[in-house]
Amino acid sequence: EAGVAQSPRYKIIEKRQSVAFWCNPISGHATLYWYQQILGQGPKLLIQFQNNGVVDDSQLPKDRFSAERLKGVDSTLKIQPAKLEDSAVYLCASSLWDGNYGYTFGSGTRLTVV
């Protein structure tokens, strides 16, 4: 089975610019997650979707971050405007409805804000 696809793999932007990341989950996986992983730390959940509805976005900095999952399949995560502290790897994961049989993660997008 194909894995979770993410693009781009790397991105370098200047502070105050905007950036968008794309994720295509495993076919049939209803639940999709975005995580932020700062160097040396474990991944931090930003937002969780079930189909195209948001289940949990309590850790998403909504003044600058936004995410959508149109039609319950692909998802995009946007940052506008970016800050230096947003430099991190952004990981997308998907699972069956309740996630009880594991999440499948993509390889992530490494963002550097200069």
Partner 1 sequence: DAKTTQPNSMESNEEEPVHLPCNHSTISGTDYIHWYRQLPSQGPEYVIHGLTSNVNNRMASLAIAEDRKSSTLILHRATLRDAAVYYCILRDPGNTGKLIFGQGTTLQVKP
Of 24, 20, 21, the closest CA to residue 3 belongs to 24
**Angle at CA 78, nearest 5°, toward 74 and 83?**
155
Query: In the bound complex, what is the minimum distance in angstroms from residue 33's beta carbon to partner 1?
Result: 8
Single residue of 14, 56, 68, 85 touching partner 1 by CB under 8 A: 56
Question: How many residues touch partner 1 (CB under 8 A)?
Answer: 23
Fill in the per-residue mask, 83 to 102: x = in contact with partner 1 (CB under 8 A), - = not in contact: --------x-x----xxx-x
Give the nearer residue to partner 1 in terms of CB position, either 5 or 13.
Answer: 5
The piece of 13-21, 43-51, 60-68, 74-82 that touches partner 1 (CB under 8 A) is 43-51
Distance CA 17, CA 35 (A): 21
Distance CA 2, CA 88 (A): 25
Phi and psi at residue 77, in whole multiples of 5°?
A: -120, 130
Single residue of 21, 43, 88, 94 touching partner 1 by CB under 8 A: 43
Structure tokens at 6: 């993410």
Structure tokens at 59: 């850790």
Distance CA 16, CA 4 (A): 29
Query: In the bound complex, what is the minimum distance in angstroms from residue 78's beta carbon to partner 1?
Result: 20
> Which residues lie near partner 1 (CB under 8 A)?
4, 33, 35, 41-45, 48, 55-56, 91, 93, 98-100, 102-108
